[in-house]
Structure 1
């Protein structure tokens, strides 16, 4: 496990991901923060985001386009993985 230096963007992204996927720390860690443990992710959320009103205001997913953007990025990542796997064979 390597050290992850947290940025404001990381905190905002984590807040949005929790709004989208709930508190599925294992899934969020696996796909979005692979260098951070699930426990560390959960602790960061509760100590830095959940209790901090400033992040709550800035991290609200206000419209469907933000949700669609995350879903389409997941689709693109999946397509790229399939293309890379096909080229490796």
Structure 2
């Protein structure tokens, strides 16, 4: 079980580095964020299974990931309607 914990932490760090280095589109950034949330959920389930703790933390993080996904998709659709593309370099949103 500890291999699963270390593997999920390693994949989380790799995805974190990928997010800040090679993201050109908002959609790819959102997909990387969703993959990070998936590995975070795997890490939490593994941790809760090892230490036999309550699953309420898992449900809280799952709820946050669903809210993050819906908000990100809403913003992506709004950006597509306004500017016509989802390139990060071509947008000046400030």
Structure number with the higher helix fraction is 2
* TM-score, with structure 2 as normaliser: 0.36
Structure with max Cα Rg: 2
